[in-house]
Amino acid sequence: MPGERLLYCGLRHGLKLPYECASGTCSTCRAQLISGDVESCWSDAPGGKTLRPARNELLMCQSMAKSDLTIKVRPGPPSVMPLPVPRILRGEISNFQLLNDQVAVFDYDLDSPIDYLPGQFVTVSVDGIDGYRAYSMTDHKDLPTARLPFLVKKMPNGKFTEWLFSECRNGTQLQGFGPLGRAIFSSDLDGDYVALVGGTGIAGIMAIIRNSIRCGHLDNHNATLVFGLNGIEDAFFLSDLHRLCDENDNFQVAIAFTDMSGYESLQSRFSHFRFVQGFLHDASQHVLDDLSNVSVAFVAGPPVAVDASRMMLFRKKKFSIRKIRYDRFG
């Protein structure tokens, strides 16, 4: 399609291309232009810092074809199960609601339903603001569905979220693309799982937890979530998580605050939680015990937290890197 990003065009046609964020930050979609002309949609994309101009490298998620092209792409990683083929989405914002000063939820009401897997995300953009932003669906039920529930954090100098938080945007049209992402809860999973999550990375993990409860996985297996937050003012979703703990003996939650000030006020309300201090990877190292029954670790959140947590699991816990599922975006 004219003006379509190379990555989206390829994925829409079923190609197995490498990507993580699909929105210009991770550089995983790097490719080499062999012949033809492209136009960059975002010349300052953070993911472009690692490109080598001498090799004509580009980001597929931030490039549009201006002519017939030949590009050299390394193959995308194998997927644990067949993934839904993503497509172009159209729909509008509804049910926007603030959870605290910086975090809100809203629904993306689509013109037609889609199917997706727990842990997947879509990218969205709005007229007048360049670029796509990636948001995970926070639940996974009644599929196929035309209502995608999102969690969004106001980003400093983030044009999209400043626009979104500035006034009621319910009814505004968004263009989208998805579903995307490989950090999924899949039917092949047979064993316990852990989830190490920073901030709004909890969005896709909520879909995984809720799905694993609904499908009966936690009837016979354990799940441990370590949820990293800056301090109690940043906390959200605690009531939802506590209710899930209350209803499921095999689901444990530890809340890791980098600043513990005032956390005592949460202890009586959230008696099932364990509260610990430290960055996500440090706190997780102390919370997680024997991982021999753990078949998969989900890691989500800011890229620095994801990378540190993956390294901790691999180096300190001797956990196989192949059993860690993550998508870096943020």
Interface with ligand FES (CB under 6 A), residue total 13
CB of 26 to ligand FES, least distance (A): 3
Q: How far is the CB of 158 from ligand FES (least distance, A)?
A: 17
Tokens encoding 285: 């190292």
For residues 129 and 160, the answer to whether their CB atoms sit within 8 Å is yes
Asked whether position 22 contacts ligand FES by CB under 6 A, the answer is yes
Residue 46: CB minimum distance to ligand FES, A: 8
The CA distance from 143 to 204, in Å, is 16
Nearest Cα residue to 57 out of 30, 35, 37, 84: 30
With respect to ligand FES, which residue has the nearer C-beta, 136 or 211? 136
Q: What share of the chain is helix, strand, coil (3-state, %, to 5)?
A: 25, 30, 40
- Minimum distance from residue 61 beta carbon to ligand FES (Å): 3
Nearer of residues 181 and 228 to ligand FES, judged by Cβ? 181
- How many CB atoms neighbour CB 206 within 10 A? 25
CA distances (Å), 314 to each of 29, 154, 164, 189, 297, in order?
A: 24, 32, 38, 20, 11
The reply to whether 196 sits near ligand FES by the rule CB under 6 A is no
User: Before 144, cis peptide (omega within 30)?
Assistant: yes
Query: Cβ atoms within 10 A of the Cβ of 143, count?
Result: 12
User: Pick from 10, 24, 91, 176: which binds ligand FES (CB under 6 A)?
Assistant: 24
Residue 152 CB, shortest distance to ligand FES, in Å, is 19
Q: Does 19 bind ligand FES (CB under 6 A)?
A: yes
Q: DSSP for 216-269, please give it.
A: THHHHS-EEEEEEESSGGG--SHHHHHHHHHH-TTEEEEEEESS-TTTHHHHTT
What DSSP designation does 115 have?
Answer: -
8, 10, 11, 27: which one binds ligand FES (CB under 6 A): 27
Q: Binding to ligand FES (CB under 6 A): which residues in 112-131?
A: none
77 to 116, contacts with ligand FES by CB under 6 A? none
Asked whether position 201 contacts ligand FES by CB under 6 A, the answer is no
CB of 130 to ligand FES, least distance (A): 15
The verdict on 59 binding ligand FES (CB under 6 A) reads yes
Q: Does 326 bind ligand FES (CB under 6 A)?
A: no
Q: Would you count residue 206 as binding ligand FES (CB under 6 A)?
A: no
Question: Shortest Cβ distance from residue 239 to ligand FES (Å)?
Answer: 33
Please list the alpha-helical segments (H only) found in the chain.
6-12, 159-166, 202-214, 217-220, 238-247, 264-267, 280-287, 303-311
Residues of span 28-57 touching ligand FES by CB under 6 A: 28-29, 47
Residues that bind ligand FES (CB under 6 A): 19-22, 24-29, 47, 59, 61
